[in-house]
Amino acid sequence: MLYPGDVFTTEITTHDAVTGAASDADSLPTAVLVRNAVDTVVVVTVEKKADTTGVYSLTATIPEDWDRGDSIHFLATAAVNSITANAVVLPNILGDEATREEIIIPPSPPGFITGYLQCYDEVGLFAVGVPVQIQMTQVPDVGGLSFNTNVRTETADEDGMVYFTKLVPGATYNIRRGTSTFWQSFSIAAGTTDNIAIDDLLGRDT
Amino acid sequence: MTVDVEFVTGTLKCYDEDGELASGIPVEMQITALPGNGGLSFSTASRFETSDENGGIEFERLVRGASYKVRRGASVYWTSFTVPLGTDDPIAIDDLLGHDVH
């Protein structure tokens, strides 16, 4: 995820239009940073990558006052053997710096950890309000512990984040998203003290 | 803190049985596997795009390293592909045969 203030950088390659072979451009390619389909005046630095043929870097700093949800990309132009071509490069949707700082994993008490997931819909946007359920299926086997097997449900927040606090190191859980028929299993290694990213999870929403 | 995920655009060019560019062709896609780095959840709902006047289709925000299945038109069979690692963007979706409804 990119945020206002971040450095936006990538590489492009140039080719001979007839043979397809990598080839240096006739002159240094140019590029503009496009925001919401409008060309901007943000400075894009284009540099030839040393010891390569036809590889150039594009670098720009995303202005601090751009907004979450802005669609951005580079529009690069290069000519090889007098044939000029354009390319849309690295399309992205901006996140919000303030939001990034607000995403803090809720802590769990000593002896427990917090597991988290970030939920997206089928087109890659945050899936707000998606329910995720977990159920303990195996206790840590350290003796003297009893948990129930009730299902607990958490819902994705505005950043698609779902947090399960008070997960038990050494335990195994089933997890599912939405109305998925199938549950996926994940285990937390005994002795884990850091919060964890729960295993990637596919699911069907209501 | 955010969960790392990288999006790319996948492209297809649709032709008809006569080798002419085919506009208005629906292509359906579903995610089938995530990169496996942890911390990500995606919906398995289908998404649809339709070819433009030049036969072009773009699926934006595909997850780099994830696998998808894709089918054209009324085809019964799906084709699977994995979004390659690396820096290419857009990427060409694997070639796809399909049956269109006329």
Please tell me whether the overall predicted TM-score, pTM, comes out greater than 0.95 for this model: no
Average pLDDT across chain A, whole number: 88
pLDDT confidence of residue B76: 87
**Closest by Cβ to B43, choosing from A1, A104, A122:** A122
* CA dist., res. A20 & res. A167, Å (int): 54
> Residue A179 carries which DSSP code?
T
Task: Report in angstroms the alpha-carbon separations of B36 from A1, A103, A108, B41.
Answer: 18, 22, 25, 10
**Residues of chain A scoring pLDDT < 50:** 98
Residues B100/B15/B32/A163 CA torsion (nearest 10 deg): -110
pLDDT confidence of residue B17: 83
Domain ranges (residues) in chain B:
7-99
User: Once rounded to an integer, what is the mean pLDDT over residues B75-101?
Assistant: 89
Q: Determine whether the interchain pair A200/B43 forms a contact, defined as Cβ–Cβ distance below 8 Å.
A: no
Q: Could you report the predicted ipTM of this complex, rounded to two decimals? A: 0.79
Burial (CB count within 10 angstroms: exposed 0-12, middle 13-18, buried 19+), residue B17: exposed
Q: pLDDT by residue (tens digit) across A114-156? A: 999 999 999 999 999 999 999 999 988 887 778 888 999 999 9
Neighbouring C-beta atoms of residue A16, cutoff 10 Å: 14
pLDDT confidence of residue A102: 57
* Assigned CATH class of B7-99: mainly beta
Range scoring the smallest mean pLDDT among A99-113, B21-35, B87-101: A99-113
Residues in chain B with CB shorter than 8 Å from the CB of A90 are 89
pLDDT confidence of residue B90: 92
